[in-house]
Structure 1
Amino acid sequence: MADLRLVGCKIYSVWGTLLFVLLFYASEVRALLCYCHPCYNSDTNGTCKTSDTGACYASKSLSSIDENEELETLTWGCFEPVEEILLQCTPSNVPHKWVTKCCKEGELCNLYLNLTLAELDLDLPDDGTSDREQRAESVSKLALLISIVSVTVFLIVLLVAIAFIYFRYKRQELRRRQLLVDSEHETFIPPGQSLHHLIDESSGSGSGLPLIVQRTIAKQITLVRSIGKGRFGEVWKGKWRGENVAVKIFFTTEEQSWFRETELYQTVLLRHDNILGFIAADIKGTGSWTQLYLITDYHENGSLYDYLHLHALDTSEMLYLAHSASCGLSHLHVEIFGTRGKPAIAHRDIKSKNILVRKNGTCCIADLGLAVRYVSETNEVDVASNTRCGTRRYMSPEVLDETMNKNHFDSYKQADMYSFGLVLWEIARRCVIGGIVHDAELPYYDYVPQDPSIEDMRKIVCIERIRPTIPDVWYHDEYLKVMCRVMSECWNPSPAARLTCLRIKKTLGRLVESIESTTKPPKHQ
């Protein structure tokens, strides 16, 4: 508030200065009282009054009576600001038998003008400035004053607007921080329980919170900071009832993607340690804007892509990442039969940026916006209505050359396995072998540009049949050798010859058991 009062004092000071300048200038252009003779109005007592921009004048002229005698005539009065009249105040370069002078210096100033016919030989008046120049100067002063006033008013309005926006932002920021502090100390969840316990107790299907809770959760969440952006919208870290959550905010144009992903996350029996935990979906907005929320578990390590750029891996860490990712994808692909079974689901956008790393060093599959379901009762594939078909760099050969059978569900699972083989290659690159580790890179980084087109990928993958380079040193390590064989079989040009995710899960599971028998396993949550 003290800052606002200081800004108000400055505004009043500036306006006071402007008012003084305007009054001072107005005194220079006021009407003048002039001496007149002869006076054409008998009620003026020998005076006349000019307009606001007029002038007083005095004139002397000589007229010839005969060849030897001339008559001198003196007149005084007021001039109006008409160009033709003003010209009479300026002596000409040609001598005349008359002289006229004008003044605006004060009341009755024309009584004191010195009129001598000798001045007729001068090029300019005695004071060195003609009345026309004086008036031009007055007009320029007025224009300058108007410009100064306009700029000053604009700057004042701008400063007031900036001050208002700044103090409003500070007030909102303080309020947000206070809400965040308060949320840290909330005790909505009973001691000894977590958000996961609340979900498991209230939702037997493992598909998030009860719908009645989901429809009010958006108003209870405090957004902390943005942690990612994409084609669909933005991901924020949030606080709800004292626990961290991830909030995926969809653009309003992506309503179909939000609805589709929400529908898939609420699939019965989908909940799994290696699939991103769904909490709730809600719509938040007013009459002018709408936000589509998808609330999930928060994992501070971020995506596998980010994790690999920051961490070099030993053999056990590599295997835990690869095996846990295969467990999540295998759970998606498998169909669980029963009264309330789970349909088989294909992801369609497997990549390192859509796999998250949990605190215990294992992975979970995220982003089901493009996933498809297999409806076994009707033998149909439930495909999303949006036009996106995945990430070009990770597309399988049959997707790139458009030869995939879209009516056969196994085709989608086989395309997932090709993409998963590329993810395994990314993980293997960060494994330290003999003290050497490779930089984290995307598949085909050395063949295509950073944002490749469909044609770029089709040429490399389908026509030239190039696959990511496997260093020779990998074949000299017991575990990496198996990884090389697995990823190579995932890259097979023939979709039917590729390994299933269940087979990869079992193969990598044996490697994990082998390494756990010789080393201490990492601590799990």
Structure 2
Amino acid sequence: MYYFVFLILCLPVSSPLICHCSPDSCYDYPTCITEGLCIEQVIGSELTSTTQGCVPPDLIASTCSVYSTIHRFCCDTYLCNNLTSIQLLLTTTEFPTTSNPPDYITTYYNDYPTSDLPSALVQVVSTLAVLIICIVGCITAFIISLTFFRCWWRKYHQVIHLEYKNPPQRLDIDELSSDLDSTYGTGSGSGMAQLSQVTIAMQVEKKKLIGSGRYGEVWQGVWRDQLVAVKISYSQDAPSWEAETHIYMTNLIRHENILGFVAADKIDLDFSLQYWLITDYMSHGSLLDFLYEHPLSLRDALRLGKGAAAGLAHLHSEIKGGHKFNSSEGLYKPCIIHRDLKSKNILVSSTGEAVIGDFGLAIRYNQDSPRYLCNLFYKREGTKRYLSPELMEDKVEEADISEIYKRADVYSLCLVLWEIFRRCVTDGVCDDCELPYFSCVSREPSFQEMREMILIRDERPHIPIRWSQSRELSEVSEIIQECWQPGRKYNNSIPDLIAPSLPSLLIKKRLISLYDQLPINRQVSGVIYRF
């Protein structure tokens, strides 16, 4: 259709032709206007016997020819009858000397208006106008076609959406070690989700906005009569959404201290996409917000601490299951490094358990990971306040990279434990909820600021004196201080290896032991006591 419109618009546009006109030939001397041709004629060989004028279209055939007594020259351009062609002919041709100009030259154009605008200029303007209209029309047609194609492509090429279905695949517990048996036997499920193609976002009803920020929005929603949390991100956070979805689809990832994954989906908004991540709903929100609002008993603090340690131990552990210890013949869970563990990314469940979430920076460690981790090392990703001393170093060896990142997670965990147990009430006293290094660095510290604090000056958050008056808090203090020391010490700028920190699995066991030794008091087990 647009092609035919283009052809019609580009058809030539006719315009009146302006010619020279002799004083004795027309009233509108010195020019006349015609839709035919310009004419000039000569009698004999003298230029004084010349006539100029206009020829109407219906007289062109009979007029523009050579007679026995007169020679005529016709042309079709602006003011072309200027005697130049006649002068050229006079040098080689002899003409008769008697004749009169045709009567029609003196009578035909008396009714035509004169114009000072050259016909060539009119033609140029007309042509440009047509070209501009054609170009604008083609661009408009292209934009409309591109928009329709984009809408069609999004409608019929949606990404496969993922949804958990029960029951999960079973893990062969008999072939796991005794430590792993006790560690993961109480999890909420050990298999990877079954997959189905479904647009689950259409089934979720958003109820209440929980929070919003740079990353997007978090809503409380209902799906199949169950409360869920819906994290909505936009195109700029698509890589984080893809990474988090990838982590949640790992075999054996499900655990009571790992945020439960429901589904991931995309919503087409014509000219943009929304990325949905649907998870279990945690009624108490983030650990940081919970600590701001609630002082804790020793039992509540240990419950939160052991839950965070158990979740991290589950992430760091490599698990093999099935008939043989072979990932191709059975289920396999690689080591997962969180890389952004902090109180804001840990949630509190309705039973008072700490649940680790937000895996936007997490990676699965395998045989190809060392070089990739070395590249990530120099990007300094993660929250600057929670970066470990090892991540502040100027360079790193590929052989040490996996242990460095595990130590970084453990270091962040110990800062979270420090935040939790500051809110623990002893003898009716507890400290305010504060972020690590709150009194030493700015609210949004830079990398250089934190490097100066924890690597050069080797400073750590202050341990309250009152902790020493409690056996449980004293042991917690030992765990924290043992784990947040750097993996290297610096003497004259030469790094020397020192003993590694406690692994997350050992931290978990020590905190569980402390929790189990507490006497049951007025609190009901599994319910957070609110002061």
What's the CA shift for 1:379? 6.8
C-alpha change, 1:255 and 1:385, in structure 2 (3 Å) is farther
What are structure 2's unaligned runs of at least 5 residues?
1-162, 171-188, 322-329, 489-498
CA distance in 1, matches of 2:465, 2:418: 14
Matching residue within 211, 215, 222 for 2:195: 211
Q: Is the 8 A contact 1:372 1:382 kept in 2?
A: no
Q: Is the 8 A contact 2:391 2:404 kept in 1?
A: no
- State TM-score, norm by structure 1: 0.59
C-alpha change, 1:306 and 1:417, in structure 2 (3 Å) is same
Aligned partner letter, 1:330: A
Q: Is the 8 A contact 1:250 1:258 kept in 2?
A: yes
Q: Is the 8 A contact 1:260 1:384 kept in 2?
A: no
Aligned partner letter, 2:209: S
C-alpha change, 1:405 and 1:431, in structure 2 (3 Å) is farther
Aligned partner letter, 2:466: V
Matching residue within 424, 434, 445 for 1:441: 434
Matching residue within 384, 397, 401 for 2:389: 397
Deviation per CA, 1:222-250, whole angstroms, max 9, x where unpaired?
22222223443222111112211111111
Q: Tell me whether 243-252 or 223-232 shows the greater mean CA deviation.
A: 223-232
Aligned partner letter, 1:390: G
C-alpha change, 1:248 and 1:382, in structure 2 (3 Å) is farther
Q: Which residue of 2 aligns with 1:131?
A: none
Matching residue within 509, 512, 521 for 2:512: 509
CA distance in 1, matches of 2:408, 2:398: 11
SS of 1:349's equivalent? coil
CA distance in 1, matches of 2:228, 2:217: 14
Matching residue within 222, 226, 233 for 2:209: 226
Q: Which residue of 2 aligns with 1:290?
A: 273
Matching residue within 194, 201, 214 for 2:167: 201
Deviation per CA, 1:95-140, whole angstroms, max 9, x where unpaired?
xxxxxxxxxxxxxxxxxxxxxxxxxxxxxxxxxxxxxxxxxxxxxx
Let me know the Cα RMSD of the aligned residues. 2.5
CA distance in 2, matches of 1:482, 1:336: 30
Q: Is the 8 A contact 1:275 1:365 kept in 2?
A: yes
Deviation per CA, 1:430-465, whole angstroms, max 9, x where unpaired?
001111111000000000111111111111111111
Residue 257 (str. 1) matches residue 275 (str. 2)? no
Deviation per CA, 1:312-350, whole angstroms, max 9, x where unpaired?
001100100000110000000000023211000111101
CA distance in 1, matches of 2:231, 2:374: 19
Q: Is the 8 A contact 1:301 1:359 kept in 2?
A: yes
C-alpha change, 1:385 and 1:296, in structure 2 (3 Å) is farther
CA distance in 2, matches of 1:385, 1:250: 26
C-alpha change, 1:502 and 1:208, in structure 2 (3 Å) is closer
Q: Is the 8 A contact 1:280 1:295 kept in 2?
A: yes
What are structure 1's unaligned runs of at least 5 residues?
1-195
What's the CA shift for 1:514? 0.3
Q: Which residue of 2 aligns with 1:95?
A: none
C-alpha change, 1:406 and 1:247, in structure 2 (3 Å) is farther
Give the 5 Å matches for 1:119-518. Answer: 199-201=165-167, 210-213=194-197, 215-338=198-321, 339-376=330-367, 380=370, 389-405=381-397, 408-494=401-487, 497-516=500-519
Aligned partner letter, 1:368: F
Q: Which residue of 1 aligns with 2:140?
A: none
C-alpha change, 1:275 and 1:512, in structure 2 (3 Å) is same
Q: Is the 8 A contact 2:192 2:252 kept in 1?
A: no
Q: Which residue of 2 aligns with 1:52?
A: none
Q: Is the 8 A contact 2:374 2:396 kept in 1?
A: no
CA distance in 2, matches of 1:509, 1:455: 37
C-alpha change, 1:412 and 1:230, in structure 2 (3 Å) is farther
Aligned partner letter, 2:388: S
- State TM-score, norm by structure 2: 0.58
Q: Is the 8 A contact 2:193 2:249 kept in 1?
A: no
SS of 1:368's equivalent? coil
Q: Is the 8 A contact 1:303 1:356 kept in 2?
A: yes
Q: Is the 8 A contact 1:303 1:357 kept in 2?
A: yes
Q: Is the 8 A contact 2:227 2:280 kept in 1?
A: yes
CA distance in 1, matches of 2:353, 2:502: 22
SS of 2:242's equivalent? helix
Q: Which residue of 1 aligns with 2:112?
A: none
Aligned partner letter, 2:461: P
Deviation per CA, 1:214-273, whole angstroms, max 9, x where unpaired?
x31011112222222344322211111221111111121111111111011100000000
Q: Is the 8 A contact 2:220 2:229 kept in 1?
A: yes
Indicate the structure with greater helix content.
1
Q: Which residue of 2 aligns with 1:174?
A: none
CA distance in 1, matches of 2:276, 2:375: 20
C-alpha change, 1:251 and 1:384, in structure 2 (3 Å) is farther
What's the CA shift for 1:423? 0.5
C-alpha change, 1:467 and 1:385, in structure 2 (3 Å) is closer
By relative contact order (CA 8 Å, sep 6+), the higher-ranking structure is 2
C-alpha change, 1:202 and 1:481, in structure 2 (3 Å) is closer
